[in-house]
Structure 1
Amino acid sequence: MNKKKITLSTAVAIVLVILGVFTYSSHVQAAKSKKYVQESIPTLFFHGYGSSFRAETQMTGASKKAGVTKTIVRVNVSPNGYAKIIGSIPKKAKNPIVEVNYDNSKMTNYHTAGLWAKNVIEALQKDYKFKKVNFVGHSMGNMAINYYILDNYNNKKLPKVNKVVDIAGHFDGIIDVDDEPGDITLAKNGKPTPMNQFYRELLKLREVYPTNTRVLNIFGDKNDGTHSDGAVSNASSQSLRYLVSGRAKSYREKKIVGKMAQHSKLHENKQVDKILINFLWKK
């Protein structure tokens, strides 16, 4: 009889501890979420050349841990551009995050990359209704985003672009491809000289970039005298300003300095996590 009482008491104690932990965790999560806007706007993350959704998981995981959202799904884009959703977004989800994965991550046709971004959005719209969207891009992911905007600015069926975070963008060239440190000079208004062929295409953004969009441009400086992140010169990244200024609702730049400012380390940088979380969702 005493053993039964001890067993019952132990079981009750364990249940109470579990309930206590669950209640505390729920309280902490609720307290965290109060720091951020509670909206139905999805945020889509786009990775760079030769990469995958795994390059996004540091940032998306940090966002979830901060209390921004409870929902992270993935959309996989096949080499022929077919977008398939892995997971589901609840109808009442707040600040859902979408990790976009391009199977053909070495495709360099930026118009095609923009078309695939459109395919991702249209696939999401079938199951989850939204009128606005946020974008986060790293490296070539920025070109997918900006060419999506360039090629679809007059499509009223697509959601309005709310906020964009460009990380390590090579808008006017890549080192050892069509740029070298010190080759690009920026005028006071941010206009670069010289301009490569892709930048000249993007110049149309000065006429069509959405006027209610807020833009944050994050770029890295390894502090080694090259004024670059090792793959992209700061001037190439900063040339984004000339493309969107006068159109975007706001434009901000943030330079990250040091070893973790290297091109491929920027999406693993906790400082970057904090900056983009605050920009996208902080009240």
Structure 2
Amino acid sequence: MRNLWRWLTVVVAVIVTTSLATACHAQKVKESTSYVSSTTPTIFFHGWGSSYRAEQQMTHYTKDHGVTNTIVRANVAKNGKVTWQGNIKRGTKNPIIEVNLANNKSTNLGEKSISDGYSKSSNYVFDVLAATQKKFGFTKVNIVAHSMGNLQVYYYLRNHGADPKLPQIQKLVDIAGHWNGLEVEKGANKVTLNPKTGEPSQQLPEYAGLITLRNTFPQQIKVLNIYGNLEDGSNSDGTVPNVSSKSLRWLLNNRAKSYQELEIKGKMGQHSKLHKNKQVDRALVKFIWEK
């Protein structure tokens, strides 16, 4: 009798395990068929003082939900040279590139102005996109950026957005962007937005440096602007005032193919927690890949 019970226990365990595995596989198949199957890569840029590790919550979420099976890394040396970890085969579905900057505090460059600093720092975005095109032949890309990465991308667009020889950005997810200042910057917390147009009452230097984008922002780009609100009365994510993040709307001047904002409320809306937030993961996956 004891052997019989042991045998039955083993059989039940096998059945349960098989059922769970089958259900999990079926769920992944269902999820994967909900997403576009594109060869366009999505490139992730991290923030100040950070690394590719800050991107992995988001990139692993996409892989776990059947969006892609391919995640590679672009390691960028201080001189801009890009070396690759991993390979993207021709025809790969929805490949992802994690950017890892050796010079991860590149906006502290001792330039004459904040705008000049971001402009020089944006060369790393140029280096990555040029290297991506050279190695894999991609002519279109999507981009996800957090914090400083947003300013690097937008200054890249200011400097090179009209160059048809470079990969053209299709979808752009901005997370915790501080286009019109950080809380620690003088005047940032005094800025207000026109309730009708979204125009900021004051342009801080990094914002003023991007003002030409009102006439040059590439019109094929769809934008999702994600920002956090701690709901503690600060109207910020603890680092970036909400008005700074929302100043992007006026800067784009209705030139983007589409523009959306997503506010993440509560403690998980904190600046550095936004790239560790499942709500953000779901939003960017839906925006970039959902059919």
On whether the aligned pair clears a TM of 0.5, the verdict is yes
User: Taking structure 1 as reference, are residues 19 and 118 closer, same or farther at Cα in structure 2, changes over 3 Å only?
Assistant: farther
Shift of 1:202: 0.6
Structure 1: gaps spanning 5 or more residues: 1-13
Please state whether the residue corresponding to 1:264 is helix, strand or coil. Answer: helix
Alignment partners' CA distance in 2, 1:165 and 1:186:
22
Q: Does residue 192 of structure 2 align to residue 185 of structure 1?
A: yes
Does the 8 Å contact 1:73/1:88 carry over to 2? yes
Alignment partners' CA distance in 1, 2:268 and 2:147:
15
Please state whether the residue corresponding to 1:68 is helix, strand or coil. Answer: coil
Please state whether the residue corresponding to 2:122 is helix, strand or coil. Answer: helix
Please state whether the residue corresponding to 1:243 is helix, strand or coil. Answer: helix
| Cross-structure match for 2:29 | 30
Please state whether the residue corresponding to 1:136 is helix, strand or coil. Answer: strand
| Cross-structure match for 1:257 | 265
Q: Does residue 165 of structure 2 align to residue 157 of structure 1?
A: yes
Does the 8 Å contact 1:111/1:144 carry over to 2? yes
Structure 2: gaps spanning 5 or more residues: 1-13, 108-116
Shift of 1:180: 4.3
Q: Given the two structures, how large is their TM-score scaled by the length of structure 2?
A: 0.87
Alignment partners' CA distance in 2, 1:210 and 1:247:
7
Q: Does residue 205 of structure 2 align to residue 197 of structure 1?
A: yes
Alignment partners' CA distance in 2, 1:259 and 1:141:
22
**Could you tell me the percent identity over the aligned residues?**
47
| Cross-structure match for 2:222 | 214
Shift of 1:214: 0.5
> 1:236 pairs with 240, 244, 265, which one?
244
Q: Does residue 248 of structure 2 align to residue 248 of structure 1?
A: no
Alignment partners' CA distance in 2, 1:149 and 1:136:
14
RMSD: 2.2
Matched to 2:220, the amino acid is N
Shift of 1:64: 0.8
User: Taking structure 1 as reference, are residues 23 and 90 closer, same or farther at Cα in structure 2, changes over 3 Å only?
Assistant: farther
| Cross-structure match for 2:142 | 134
| Cross-structure match for 2:182 | 174
Alignment partners' CA distance in 1, 2:21 and 2:126:
40
Shift of 1:193: 1.7
User: Taking structure 1 as reference, are residues 31 and 174 closer, same or farther at Cα in structure 2, changes over 3 Å only?
Assistant: same
| Cross-structure match for 2:55 | 56
Q: Given the two structures, how large is their TM-score scaled by the length of structure 1?
A: 0.89
Deviation sequence 1:198-255 (CA, Å, 0-9, x none): 1111111111111111000000000000100000000000000011132101101010
Does the 8 Å contact 1:245/1:251 carry over to 2? no
Please state whether the residue corresponding to 1:73 is helix, strand or coil. Answer: strand
Please state whether the residue corresponding to 1:123 is helix, strand or coil. Answer: helix
| Cross-structure match for 2:7 | none
| Cross-structure match for 1:278 | 286
Shift of 1:93: 0.6
